[in-house]
Amino acid sequence: VSLQIQFEHPAGGYRKLFETCEELSETVPATVTGRIPSFLKGSLLRLGPGLFEVGDEPFYHLFDGQALMHKFDFKNGQVTYFRKFVRTDAYVRAITEKRVVITEFGTFAYPDPCKNIFSRFFTYFQGVEVTDNCLVSVYPIGEDYYAATETNYITKVNTDTLETLKKVDMCNYVNINGVTAHPHIERDGTVYNIGNCMGKGASLAYNIVRIPPTQKDKSDPIDKSKVVVQFPSYQRFKPSYVHSFGMTDNYFVFVETPVKINLLKFLSAWSIRGCNYMDCFESNESQGTLFHIAKKDPGEYIDLKFKGAPIGMFHHINAFEDQGFIVVDLCAWKGFEFVYNYLWLANLRANWEEVKKAAVLAPQPEVRRYVIPLDVHKEEQGKNLVSLPYTTATATMYADGSTWLEPEVLFSSPHQAFEFPQINYKRYGGKNYTYAYALGLNHFIPDRICKLNVKTKETWVWQGPDSYPSEPLFVQTPDAVDEDDGVLLTIVAAPGAQRPAYLLILNAKDLSEVARAEVECTIPVTFHGMYKP
């Protein structure tokens, strides 16, 4: 099936993805059609916003709604569904005070009108109250599970009951201002993550943090978090927005895009002018994109300058080493404009014709492969250094010693994004691989599941009328031989249907339907999640 099939959505059913829903007091049975593979035993966990307004105060941005955790449990061919709001400070205080209390990504929290000017003056000097609304993802650290967003707070949750256990401030352990919701996790359970930090003399850098696996003495691995390597920042007071990073067997890859956080604005204007996080982003139109690499163990920054045309970038697909090169596959958005400018809820809830009109102005999505040469010689000026036989990506040395990277385009179609990518991570994370799976965004509206062969560029698609899926997670068949021997799990919103949401299980080989488990309640948008065996 060609990815060019463009479903239209005149009924605007996608609006249901951005509507508040109630949490559940007990698990709900799902109606199964098809057969649930017997190796699925455990839970699919997902996170996203579930509360889109408090009292009569709305949240304005896609990343503002309060965190709701979803769980589908598999047992003996049966499926149950459960969900609960994460009891973050942002959520608890909003519910208690019936107003937006903590400023979110795109929504400013007004000061409490009951407090007088003096108390406001003092809270201003205590610094910024950073949101702990962990609506983006969930991942394991040691034997525990944490819900996360992109701030310094992660929230420990019980993945059986979905109860909130405790809020953890990563600033108490390592020099970091925040960590991403996209850590890399090794086979032994070691967790790596990246975040920006303040270095010496208030200059900026990006730190890679290592959290060790489960400790023999049962102590908390977070206590032993360490910064393993530091990447320099192109601008002293303006770090780039970082959402994920690449990791191979021996290297870290950090892509520094031209989308910047204006720290001075972030720190000063915040309490005075009614700023939110979105107000603090700007683009550096002259920087382009910088590609940094570092050795993993022991951590060591490799001071080589790799540059490319400006892109916005949220998700790495995979990275691997081959014959003295690092191959980096990622989901790019062309240009230097911040894609989050197009994710205001008002945009996403508009009529279909309006949704399309707005999206046409946005940066264009593209799946790209960059190749970084590890061995760079001065005298090779002006010549392509990439000698891998299977890619058209190039790396050309300039007179100033920097190397210009031109990507190979693996997939491109106007306003159709291959996003929220997933691979067979357990076996192929950081290794030479063939298949990527993704959520297809049609003018930012998620309406299909895609598969891409990164070697041949062949594509497969699953889609259905008035059906809005979420990121597909790959689960391998036990004793699998082939890389794509397994299933994809995704949650689909089907607003017009008798049962308005379902868990969909697809055969990862050809995206044919294996089974679905339908529930009686609507399920809003979810971003990321994990399968817990």
pLDDT of residue 507: 98
Domain range holding 504?
Answer: 13-532
Please provide the size of the chain in residues: 533
pLDDT digits (tens, 9 = 90+) for 479-501: 999 999 999 999 999 999 999 99
pLDDT of residue 125: 45
pLDDT digits (tens, 9 = 90+) for 178-189: 999 999 999 999
pLDDT digits (tens, 9 = 90+) for 154-181: 999 999 999 999 999 999 999 998 999 9
pLDDT of residue 265: 81
pLDDT of residue 123: 47
Burial class (CB in 10 A: 0-12, 13-18, 19+), 492: buried
Confidence of residue 122 (pLDDT cuts 50, 70, 90): very low
pLDDT digits (tens, 9 = 90+) for 253-309: 999 999 999 887 877 655 556 788 999 999 999 999 999 999 999 999 999 999 999
The reply to whether 315 sits in an annotated binding site is yes
Examine residue 3 and state whether it is found in any structural domain, yes or no.
no
Confidence of residue 127 (pLDDT cuts 50, 70, 90): low
Confidence of residue 477 (pLDDT cuts 50, 70, 90): very high
- Cα–Cα dist 338/171, whole Å: 27
- How many domains in the chain? 1
pLDDT of residue 448: 97
SS3 278: helix
Examine residue 476 and state whether it is found in any structural domain, yes or no.
yes
- More confident site: 392 or 101: 392
Long-range contacts of 17-20 (CB under 8 A, 24+ apart): 17/348, 17/446, 17/468, 17/493, 17/524, 17/525, 18/49, 18/52, 18/62, 18/65, 18/345, 18/348, 18/349, 18/524, 18/525, 19/52, 19/522, 19/524, 20/50, 20/51, 20/52, 20/53, 20/65, 20/524
Examine residue 88 and state whether it is found in any structural domain, yes or no.
yes
Examine residue 390 and state whether it is found in any structural domain, yes or no.
yes
- Cα–Cα dist 102/149, whole Å: 15
The reply to whether 316 sits in an annotated binding site is no
pLDDT of residue 114: 57
In this prediction the pTM is 0.96
- Cα–Cα dist 210/222, whole Å: 9
Tokens of 78: 């049966």
Examine residue 8 and state whether it is found in any structural domain, yes or no.
no
The reply to whether 528 sits in an annotated binding site is yes
Tokens of 312: 């916005």
The reply to whether 243 sits in an annotated binding site is yes
Contact 280, 266 (CB under 8 A): yes
Which single residue is written with the structure tokens 């010549």? 383
pLDDT of residue 8: 94
Confidence of residue 366 (pLDDT cuts 50, 70, 90): very high
Q: How far is CA 352 from the centre of its chain?
A: 25
pLDDT of residue 124: 46
Q: Which of 485, 507, 192 is nearest to 319 (CA)?
A: 192
Burial class (CB in 10 A: 0-12, 13-18, 19+), 200: exposed
Contact 339, 362 (CB under 8 A): yes
SS3 269: helix
Percentage of the chain modeled with pLDDT above 70: 93
- More confident site: 502 or 111: 502
pLDDT of residue 385: 95
Examine residue 33 and state whether it is found in any structural domain, yes or no.
yes
- More confident site: 276 or 359: 359
- Cα–Cα dist 218/335, whole Å: 47
Contact 432, 490 (CB under 8 A): no
Examine residue 236 and state whether it is found in any structural domain, yes or no.
yes
